[in-house]
């Protein structure tokens, strides 16, 4: 595969990554923020919250699920980009790919569970189902966060051992991972949000880097003398 074509595919992957992250952020954290009640809340309150917000839950979950599907392109590009840097890159590529798939699956299943809880059913049936579904949602959210932590950590480490992201961004990413790992026993909250923002900024940086490199190559190719010229 030519270098120009590889850079072009990478660029598409970073754009898809930014789009997927924005859709997940908007769907799961803005439109449907998961509700204000935890799984230990009274079942009657959990059921009432779902019943009163069915439209919001369906809309937010749909947007988030679409974002998860779009994110697959980013995960594939991340694997291909890292794998081009030799044996170290191949190992990091596999790790990033694994955590990326965990992130995608976590986002997809999270949205699916939220939509399942909002299905129109009899109130007594909803009351019986809402507690186990709420507990499962919490575990699925953990899966999404584990995938996100792994992707940020792998991208940050890759940037320290090869040319990928600027080193200051890598150290910030590692710091965020360490902070979030320390917060896991309590509540991730703003720490988890910071990971998503870091990934969005990382995608913007990669778009700028690869877009500039691709433009320069195309410009040099156009200016180069042709054999038959």
Digitized pLDDT (tens) for each residue of the chain, 229 residues in all: 555 567 778 899 999 999 999 999 999 888 876 665 655 666 666 666 777 777 888 888 899 999 999 999 999 999 999 998 777 788 999 999 999 999 999 889 888 877 777 665 555 555 555 555 555 666 667 788 889 999 999 999 999 998 889 999 999 999 999 988 887 655 556 677 889 999 999 999 999 988 877 776 656 655 555 555 4
pLDDT of residue 19: 96
Has residue 190 been placed in a domain?
Answer: yes
Measured distance CA(138)–CA(65) in Å, rounded: 17
pLDDT of residue 95: 94
Has residue 224 been placed in a domain?
Answer: no
Has residue 221 been placed in a domain?
Answer: no
Q: 29: domain range? A: 3-215
**Could you give the number of structural domains in the chain?**
1
Has residue 57 been placed in a domain?
Answer: yes
User: Residue 76 corresponds to which tokens in the numbers above?
Assistant: 């594939």
Has residue 220 been placed in a domain?
Answer: no
Measured distance CA(225)–CA(56) in Å, rounded: 59
pLDDT of residue 18: 95
- CB of 50 within 8 A of CB of 13? no
Has residue 185 been placed in a domain?
Answer: yes
Question: Around 164, how many Cα atoms within 13 Å sit in the side-chain half-sphere?
Answer: 30
Measured distance CA(29)–CA(217) in Å, rounded: 39
Has residue 54 been placed in a domain?
Answer: yes
Has residue 222 been placed in a domain?
Answer: no
């Amino acid at each position: 595969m030519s270098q120009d074509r590889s850079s072009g595919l990478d660029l598409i992957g970073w754009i898809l990554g930014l789009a997927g992250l924005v859709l997940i952020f908007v769907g799961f954290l803005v439109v449907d923020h998961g509700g204000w009640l935890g799984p230990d809340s009274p079942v009657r309150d959990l059921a009432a919250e779902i019943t009163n917000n069915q439209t919001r839950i369906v809309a937010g979950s749909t947007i988030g699920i679409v974002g998860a599907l779009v994110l697959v392109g980013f995960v594939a590009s991340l694997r291909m980009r890292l794998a081009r840097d030799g044996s170290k890159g191949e190992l990091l590529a596999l790790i990033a790919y694994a955590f990326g798939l965990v992130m995608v699956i976590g986002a997809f299943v999270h949205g699916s569970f939220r939509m399942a809880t909002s299905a129109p059913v009899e109130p007594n049936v909803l009351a019986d189902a809402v507690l186990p579904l709420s507990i499962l949602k919490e575990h699925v959210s953990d899966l999404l966060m584990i995938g996100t932590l792994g992707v940020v950590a792998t991208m940050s480490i890759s940037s320290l051992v090869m040319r990928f992201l600027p080193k200051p961004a890598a150290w910030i990413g590692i710091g965020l991972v360490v902070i979030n790992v320390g917060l896991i026993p309590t509540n991730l909250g703003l720490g988890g949000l910071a990971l998503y923002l870091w990934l969005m900024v990382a995608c913007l940086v990669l778009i700028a880097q690869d877009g500039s490199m691709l433009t320069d190559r195309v410009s040099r190719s156009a200016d180069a003398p042709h054999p038959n010229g």
